[in-house]
Structure 1
Amino acid sequence: MGKVRWYGLAMVVFIADQTAKSYVDLNTPLGWSVNVTSFLNLVHILNPGAAFSFLAGAGGWQRWFFLAIALAISAWLVWFLSRPLHKSEGLACGLILGGALGNAFDRAVRGQVVDYLDFYFRGWHWPAFNIADMAIVGGAMVLVANTFVNKEKTPAQNQNSIEKKVN
């Protein structure tokens, strides 16, 4: 049952991400921006690159490069989720998987990733991002926190220890 919840989480992230991106893509013109608060704009931006628009102007090959990376990471996460994991590891992998698939879908179908959240402070803007990006960063933060907080062995290591004691 545990694995199903993490795949379910990935699917929820993917659906929420694609729903928001589709809404922005279908209902706002490219370049649109509206001020929501003193620190948030909703925008419609297309990002052909990766985080912080890395390789955005690379000429088009980066679309397939980043798509291949996202699919490879997704395949690895599906494999990793099939193993015994701590809840925090499953949570992190489910978040990252959903985000990676959300951005991979954009690259495959739209050619670029739709970004729509623009946070700023006193004229300093964080690069625009989306739900998939938040899930990936959140999952990565959980993995990093897990290395500091959860010093005990993984469930697979615990099982190996039990088997050694039995033999």
Structure 2
Amino acid sequence: MSLSIIVIIFLLKIVKSESFLISRLGISFIIGGALGNVLDRFKYGAVVDFISLHAKGFSWYIFNVADMFIVIGVILFILGQFIITNKNLGA
């Protein structure tokens, strides 16, 4: 759990230095998801924010909301880095 807090502090420093909006948004999503998981662990002793989807008797996947934010954040951050790289190569 202390590793999660160290990672969050590291990401906060990165988000301050990142100038591209998509990358900043991605890092913010990662921080939000990580904080959600850490706070759940402190308060409940486990992660509790799940979405379970069911349709016509079929059970779909079970999603952890905080982890979804982390994954979306990573995708946005990588997308932002590709855009920055392409702009720099084209300039």
Cα distance change of structure 1 residues 145 and 82 upon mapping to structure 2, 3 Å threshold? closer
Shift of 1:114: 0.5
Amino acid in the other structure paired with 1:119 = L
In the TM superposition, what are the counterparts of 1:45-60 in structure 2 within 5 Å? none
Q: Which amino acid aligns with 2:19?
A: L
What is the distance in 2 between the residues matched to 1:74 and 1:107? 15
User: How far apart, in 2, do the equivalents of 1:129 and 1:84 lie?
Assistant: 27
- In structure 2, the residue matched to 1:127 is 62
1:149 aligns with 2:83: yes
TM-score by length of 1: 0.45
1:101 aligns with: 35
Distance 1:124 1:148, change over 3 A: farther
Q: Does 1:136 align with 2:51?
A: no
Per the TM alignment, residue 68 of structure 1 is displaced from its structure 2 partner at its CA by: 2.3
Query: How many corresponding residue pairs?
Result: 86
Q: Match of 1:13? A: none
* Greater helix proportion: 2
Matched residue, 2:5: 71
Q: Secondary structure at the match of 1:85?
A: coil
Structure 1 unaligned spans of 5+: 1-66, 154-167
Higher RCO, 1 or 2 (CA under 8 Å, sep at least 6)?
Answer: 2
Question: Normalization by structure 2: what TM-score?
Answer: 0.76
Tell me how far 1:149 sits from its aligned partner: 3.3
Larger Rg: 1
Distance of 2:54 and 2:71 partners within structure 1? 18
CA deviations on 1:116-143 (whole Å, 9 max, x unpaired) are: 311357845323322x222111111112
CA 133–84 in structure 1, closer or farther in 2 if over 3 Å, else same: closer
Shift of 1:98: 1.0
The CA distance in 1 between the partners of 2:58 and 2:34, in whole Å, is 30
